[in-house]
């Protein structure tokens, strides 16, 4: 009964609607009572989506009420936009869920926003600063890069930039990068052209950050050229051919030992006898004949292993002679010298640790020092300024692929990352004024190279950062 009555009610309602005026009048009254809604779908441009993120970072999201502050900042930027506050907040949530921008791009937007805020604060204090500080602030702003510069990069360069920023963020431990001696010159020129364009858009505040950027750039470039960078050196394993021949040699020696026991009447295992009987066809041969054959096969297999090893050594020496003759002749000298007469490791380590780690203070007020100063009349050193041209000149003197220092940066990257030279010049001058925060520059490794094996004399060579070496020679 309820179902039928419901159908009748629906039919009556439809009839009333089809009747004309009453149904239409009710419908018009309902439409006039509802408020106007924005049902049209809005299209957001990429620039507007970036601006939403900037408003988010400027609104201090750690504090309460940041959505209202976001909307106010948005209205200041786009006063003609009539988007309600709720829809604006919903669009921001949609951007976060859809991941329209990668983590690296969001981090870059955050940096740009913080940089703009810092620039605004500096502009507010410009009137109180002396003229020299104002000029320095303007120069810093000229070296800064706005997000509009990033938009001019090609898609491949943007991808390269993202990889460098990711490597810069995860750059905790540094590993030795392979030298790119055998890489084609055209490939190096191509990757350097893109990298110099990209790193010009990445801002660094200090020499430490620039050094990290240089290493991260070298890592990305090495990977782009197809080189594998493993965090740890792989342990040298025996090749499969050597494992196979050694296993075969062991089996032959074991069988020879069993047959010798059989001949002496000391082999009681019947299964082993049956195995050897069928394997070496001893129904047709006698035991002495089988033993002689096994001895010959053992000698042939051992000689085969030795011959293969000599061929490998010969091949490696030929390759080393082609690439680095100096290193080849040194390897021959080391192989002839051997490892005799080497000093004790702990004693050597303690000797050099006492020299480098324990700083000593001399008496600066000694009388002979004052007398020498009076006699020499050494003039005071004038103020020295490191210029970009001076950095380029010293960088050109760096050897491309010689052993790097503790920062693991080859001289090639210091020489060819030309977009960093101007930045390095300004940061070198900062180090001259206040070197206290750059202790990593003076770290080094001391190597002992044998000079005379007969007298057990060693030459000590201390390898330091390439950046520090160029800084000293400027």
Q: What is the mean pLDDT of residues 267-281?
A: 92
Structure confidence at residue 54 (pLDDT):
86
Whether residues 329 and 346 share a domain: the answer is no
198-212: b (≥16 Cβ within 10 Å) or e:
bbbbbebeebeebbb
Most confident range (mean pLDDT) of 17-26, 240-249, 399-408 is 240-249
Whether residues 345 and 436 share a domain: the answer is yes
Give the confidence band of 13 by pLDDT, cuts at 50, 70, 90. very low
Whether residues 208 and 346 share a domain: the answer is yes
Beta bridge partners of 450: 458
With a cut of 80, say whether residue 446 has pLDDT above it. no
Whether residues 252 and 349 share a domain: the answer is no
Give the confidence band of 19 by pLDDT, cuts at 50, 70, 90. very low
User: What is the domain count for the chain?
Assistant: 3
Residues 6+ apart with CB under 8 A from 50: 101, 109, 147
Q: Which domain holds residue 398?
A: 175-234+339-353+380-474
Q: Is 156 a domain residue?
A: no
Which of 285, 312, 337 represents a domain boundary (last residue)?
Answer: 337
With a cut of 50, say whether residue 101 has pLDDT above it. yes
Q: Is 430 a domain residue?
A: yes
Whether residues 206 and 91 share a domain: the answer is no
Q: Is 21 a domain residue?
A: no
pLDDT in tens, 134-168: 444 444 444 444 455 566 788 888 888 888 998 88
Q: Is 368 a domain residue?
A: no
Structure confidence at residue 135 (pLDDT):
40
Whether residues 186 and 330 share a domain: the answer is no
Q: Is 396 a domain residue?
A: yes
Place of tokens 């009839």: 15
Structure confidence at residue 232 (pLDDT):
57
Q: Is 294 a domain residue?
A: yes
pLDDT in tens, 298-346: 999 999 999 999 999 999 999 888 888 888 887 887 665 555 566 777 8
Structure confidence at residue 119 (pLDDT):
59
Between these two residues, 144 and 370, which has the higher pLDDT value? 370
With a cut of 80, say whether residue 251 has pLDDT above it. yes
Whether residues 244 and 333 share a domain: the answer is yes
Structure confidence at residue 53 (pLDDT):
86
Q: Is 146 a domain residue?
A: no
**Whole-number CA gyration radius for the chain:** 39
Cα dist. 203→186, 209, 294, 333 in Å? Answer: 28, 9, 73, 49
Whether residues 314 and 440 share a domain: the answer is no
Whether residues 349 and 446 share a domain: the answer is yes
* Percent above pLDDT 70 for the chain: 76
Least confident range from 162-176, 361-375, 430-444: namely 430-444
| Closest alpha carbon to 213 in 144, 112, 205, 473 | 205
């Amino acid at each position: 009964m309820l179902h039928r009555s419901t159908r009748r009610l629906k039919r009556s309602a439809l009839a009333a609607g089809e009747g004309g005026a009453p149904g239409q009048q009710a419908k018009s009254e309902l439409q006039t009572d509802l408020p106007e809604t924005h049902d049209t779908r809005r299209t957001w441009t990429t620039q507007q989506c970036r601006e939403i993120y900037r408003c988010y970072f400027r609104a201090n999201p750690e504090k309460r009420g940041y959505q209202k502050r976001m909307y106010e900042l948005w209205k200041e930027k786009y006063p003609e936009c009539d988007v309600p506050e709720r829809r604006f907040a919903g669009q921001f949530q949609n951007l976060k869920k859809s991941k329209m921008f990668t983590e690296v791009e969001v981090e870059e937007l955050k940096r740009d926003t913080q940089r703009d805020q810092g620039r605004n604060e500096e502009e507010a204090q410009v009137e109180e600063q002396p003229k020299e500080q104002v000029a320095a602030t303007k120069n810093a702003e000229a070296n800064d890069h706005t997000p509009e510069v990033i938009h001019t990069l090609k898609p491949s360069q943007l991808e390269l930039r993202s990889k460098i920023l990711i490597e810069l963020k995860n750059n905790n431990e540094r590993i030795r990068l392979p030298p790119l001696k055998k890489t084609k010159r055209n490939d190096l020129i191509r990757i350097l052209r893109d990298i110099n364009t990209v790193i010009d858009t990445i801002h660094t505040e200090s020499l430490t950050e620039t050094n990290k950027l240089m290493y991260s750039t070298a890592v990305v470039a090495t990977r782009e050229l197809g080189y594998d960078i493993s965090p740890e050196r792989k342990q040298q394993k025996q090749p499969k051919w050597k494992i196979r021949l050694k296993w075969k040699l062991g089996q032959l020696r074991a069988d020879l030992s069993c047959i010798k026991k059989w001949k002496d009447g000391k082999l009681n295992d019947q299964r082993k006898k049956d195995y050897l009987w069928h394997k070496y066809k001893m129904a047709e041969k006698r035991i002495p004949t089988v033993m002689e054959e096994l001895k010959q096969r053992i000698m042939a297999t051992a000689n085969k292993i030795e011959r293969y090893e000599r061929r490998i050594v010969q091949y490696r020496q030929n390759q080393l002679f082609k690439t680095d003759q100096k290193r080849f002749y040194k390897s021959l000298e080391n192989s002839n010298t051997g490892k005799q007469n080497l000093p004790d490791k702990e004693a050597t380590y303690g000797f050099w640790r006492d020299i480098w780690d324990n700083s000593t203070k001399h008496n600066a007020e000694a009388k002979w020092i004052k007398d020498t100063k009076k006699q020499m009349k050494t003039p005071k050193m004038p103020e020295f300024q490191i210029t970009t041209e001076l950095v380029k000149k010293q960088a050109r003197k760096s050897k491309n692929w010689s052993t790097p220092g503790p920062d693991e940066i080859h001289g090639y990257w210091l020489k060819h990352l030309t977009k960093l030279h101007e930045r390095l010049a300004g940061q070198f001058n900062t180090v001259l004024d206040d070197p206290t925060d750059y202790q990593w520059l003076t770290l080094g490794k001391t190597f002992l190279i044998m000079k005379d094996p007969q007298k057990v004399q060693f030459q000590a060579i201390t390898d330091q950062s390439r950046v520090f070496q160029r800084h000293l020679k400027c």
